[in-house]
Structures are given as structure tokens and as C-alpha cells.
Amino acid sequence: MIIKTHKDIPSNEITDPLVFKQRRQIIKAMMGSLAAGVAGVSASSALAEPVSVWSNIPKANTTGESLIATPSDIVKNHTNYYEFTFNKTDATQLAQSLPTDPWSVEISGEVENPAVYHLEDILSQQSLQEYIYRFRCVEAWSMVVPWIGFPLANLLKMAKPLSSAQFVQFTAIYDPKTMPNQRDNAMLEWPYVEGLRIDEAMHHLTILAAGMYGERMPKQNGAPLRLVVPWKYGFKSIKAIVKIELVKRPPVTTWNKYAPSDYGFYSNVNPEVPHPRWSQNSERQLGGSFFTPRRKTELFNGYGSQVASLYSDMDLRHFF
């Protein structure tokens, strides 16, 4: 038997494992619809869904800037998902065991119409758009991601917030069976909780994302539904949301509770307010080479012309 070593295989013969998986999914989808055609019943939605539903998404016109997305294999393989791991690589594998279909999202609290929705019912009522945003982690790295989602405001309006609703609290899934750090009660308090002020939550740049790079959200990036708030540090953009509550008081959020002097409730990107252990005035851009210069971090991550008015009467050093 001739064994080809890695050296002998031309690079175009090596199939990226992600591409391989995608191909298998497409084949599975084709077989699913074939089988359905023969049997005369409709295949399950996930399998029969035409690939184009996720790949021909119109671009949202929210920022008017043209950004070049970070290569998708980098965004999919460099993640922060503390329920699974404290490193950046292992969630790619570990998160695959999280069951995300079916999924429901509860909307409750200070609203006229509290409800529990099947995720698919939420998605079918929204016109999904692509939002290409800069994304800045508090650890001083950044990327540009083409998210697929819809304004959070759309969903909140369906629930009809009462005037007493001043903040929005988001809760992520609690699933210790598949999430090792929940099982071990490691480091943070679980489930992961985040929050926004109601005007931040209603802002048109704030989205719920169900996909990226022309496909459904990979599990390690927060499937099936995550928040994206592009002018705040990445930890505000909570993954795997199961509950959205409108509340009267500022929510107690996971990172703020863990280390209040390091991670403020607002956590707007701000080069003038250093983390106690590192500067925030520049960032390493994922996908660059050794020679790519660090990017100068911008106030509100560059979205100031659209969001600065939310904070006009606030001292951002105090409310960091």
C-alpha cells in the first residue's frame, strides 16, 4: 500500500474540514429533498432548506462603510465561549454537542405580550439581512464579520414594552450536560447573562444574528441566536440566547459581577479607558500577518456618529 504523506499531497487535494462538512451538509440536504419528493412528504425544514436562503441575503444599509470581512475560517476557529472552554480553539469541536434545534426564546418581564417563540417562527417573520460590522474584544483583538440577522428592536416591539421597561436582560442557555464549565461551576456564574439599556437595545445597529458568512450560525459562534452590539466590547454580544427580559433595573451581568472594576456595565469600546491590566488604544486584527500594523482603536469602535448621542450626558470614564 502506498501511503501519501502530507508533503506528497498537492494542497488543492486537501479538503478543509469545514468545507468537507459543508459539502456533506449540502449532500444531506439534497438527499433529504429527494427522499421527500419520492415519499410525497415535505422534508424537515433544516434539511430541505435551499442553501440560497442563507447565502443570498441582502446587505443592510446601516453604516454606509465598506469593510473587508476577516476570513471565515479564522472567525470560526478563534472563539470565546467560556461555557465550553477558556481557550480560543476548542469550542469549534466542543460546541457541536450543544442541541440547538428545536430552540425557543422567551420574551417576558415589563411587556404587554410576553411569549415563548419557536426560533423558526421568529426567523420566518423577519427579513434577514447581512450586517458587516467591526467586532472588538476587550482583550484587544478585532475582526470584521458579515453577520446575518435582524434588528433586536423588531422583536422587542412585538412584545410591546411597557414604559416601565428601562433595561433588557439576556440569558444564555444552561446546559451542563454539554457545557463542561457549567458542569464544573468554573470561574463565572452560569448561565451567562448580559444586559443593555432600553435605548441601546432599540438602536438600529443592535441586531440578533442567526447566521454569518452566508450560512446558519456555527455553534461555536453562538448558534442558533446571538446578540451583536458592534460599538461595545465583544463580551456584551451574548451567544445562545434563550431568554430576553425587559426589566426596570440594571441587570446583574456575568462579567460585571465577576470583576466590576475590569468590566463595566456599558463596556463601550473606548481607547481612553484602559483595562486595569492593558491599554485599549490599539488592537490586533485577526487574519493579518506578522507585519500587519495594529489598528488604532476608535471610540465606540468607529460607530460614534450613530451612537454617541446615546451617551451625550454621561461621563464615559465613570460609566465605562
C-beta of 222 vs 302, nearer to ligand MTE: 222
| Residues within the interface to ligand MTE (CB under 6 A) | 79-83, 137, 172, 192, 221-222, 234-235, 237-240
Q: Which of 60, 98, 123, 137 binds Mo ion (CB under 5 A)?
A: 137
Q: How far is the CB of 262 from ligand MTE (least distance, A)?
A: 12
Give the whole-angstrom CA distance, residue 236 versus residue 170.
10
E strand spans, 161-278: 167-172, 193-197, 207-212, 215-216, 226-228, 241-247
Q: How far is the CB of 285 from ligand MTE (least distance, A)?
A: 13
Strand, coil or helix: what is 272? coil
Q: How far is the CB of 105 from Mo ion (least distance, A)?
A: 23
For residue 2, what is its C-alpha cell?
Answer: 502506498
Does residue 214 contact residue 69 with C-beta atoms inside 8 Å?
A: no
C-beta of 63 vs 221, nearer to ligand MTE: 221
C-beta of 163 vs 261, nearer to ligand MTE: 261
Q: Which residues contact 191 (CB under 8 A, 6 or more apart)?
A: 171, 172, 173, 174, 182, 242
Task: Judge residue 228's burial from the number of C-beta atoms within 10 Å of its C-beta, 0-12 exposed, 13-18 middle, 19 or more buried.
Answer: buried
C-beta of 103 vs 192, nearer to ligand MTE: 192
Q: How far is the CB of 102 from Mo ion (least distance, A)?
A: 29
Q: How far is the CB of 136 from Mo ion (least distance, A)?
A: 9
**Nearest residue (beta carbon) to ligand MTE:** 234
Least Cα distance to 239 among 104, 45, 12, 82 occurs for 82
Query: Considering only 22-30, 40-48, 129-137, 143-151, which stretch makes contact with Mo ion by CB under 5 A?
Result: 129-137
Subset of residues 51 to 80 that bind Mo ion, contact rule: CB under 5 A: 80
Is position 195 an interface residue for Mo ion (rule: CB under 5 A)? no
C-alpha dihedral (118, 102, 175, 210), degrees to nearest 10: -70
Give the whole-angstrom CA distance, residue 141 versus residue 234.
10
Subset of residues 208 to 237 that bind Mo ion, contact rule: CB under 5 A: 234-235
Q: Which residues contact 201 (CB under 8 A, 6 or more apart)?
A: 152, 153, 156, 167, 168
C-beta of 161 vs 242, nearer to ligand MTE: 242
> Which among Mo ion, ligand MTE, none contacts residue 149 (Cβ within 5 to 8 A by kind)?
none
| Total residues in contact with Mo ion, by rule CB under 5 A | 4
Contacts with Mo ion by CB under 5 A lie at 80, 137, 234-235
